[in-house]
Amino acid sequence: MARTAVWRAALGVIAFAMISIAPASAVPAVKQITLGAMSVSPMQLTVKTGETVEWINKDVVDHTSTEKKAAIWNVSIAPGKSAKVVMKKAGTFDYYCRYHPNMVAKVIVR
C-alpha cells in the first residue's frame, strides 16, 4: 500500500511538471495597434498566421480598420473600445480608417 501511494505521488509530480513546461507558443499571440491622436501606432506590424491583431481606440471619435484590397476585414471601433481580428492568411495587407482616410497602416502576416 505504501508503494502505491509513492507511485501516485510520483505520477502527480510528473504530470504537474509536464503541464508546467508546455510551450508558450501553444496559445496564439495578440498583437496590439493603438488608434490615438488621429494616427495609427505602429504603422506596420508583422504577425504570424493564426495570431490576433487588436486595434485599441484611444481617440474620442469612431474609427475603423478596413483592409483595402480584398475586404479581408472591416471592423468598427468606438472610442475607448477595441476590436480583434485573427490573421488567417499570409500576405501584406494595407488598411485604413474609412472615416479618416489619412490614417493608413499595414499588417504583414507570415
pTM across the whole model: 0.75
28-109 maps to CATH 2.60.40.420:
yes
pLDDT per position in the chain (110 positions), as tens?
566 555 555 445 444 443 444 455 567 789 999 999 999 999 999 999 999 999 999 999 999 999 999 889 999 999 999 999 999 999 999 999 999 999 999 999 99
Looking at residue 28, its pLDDT comes to 73
Looking at residue 20, its pLDDT comes to 42
Looking at residue 19, its pLDDT comes to 40
Looking at residue 16, its pLDDT comes to 43
Domain boundaries of the chain, sorted by first residue: 28-109
Residue 38 CA to residue 59 CA, distance in Å, equals 7
What cell numbers appear for 9 in the block?
A: 505521488
If DSSP states are collapsed to H, E and C, what string results for 27-62? CCCEEEEEEECCEEECCEEEECCCCEEEEEECCCCC
Burial of 67 (0-12, 13-18, 19+ CB in 10 A): middle
What cell numbers appear for 47 in the block?
A: 504577425
Looking at residue 70, its pLDDT comes to 86
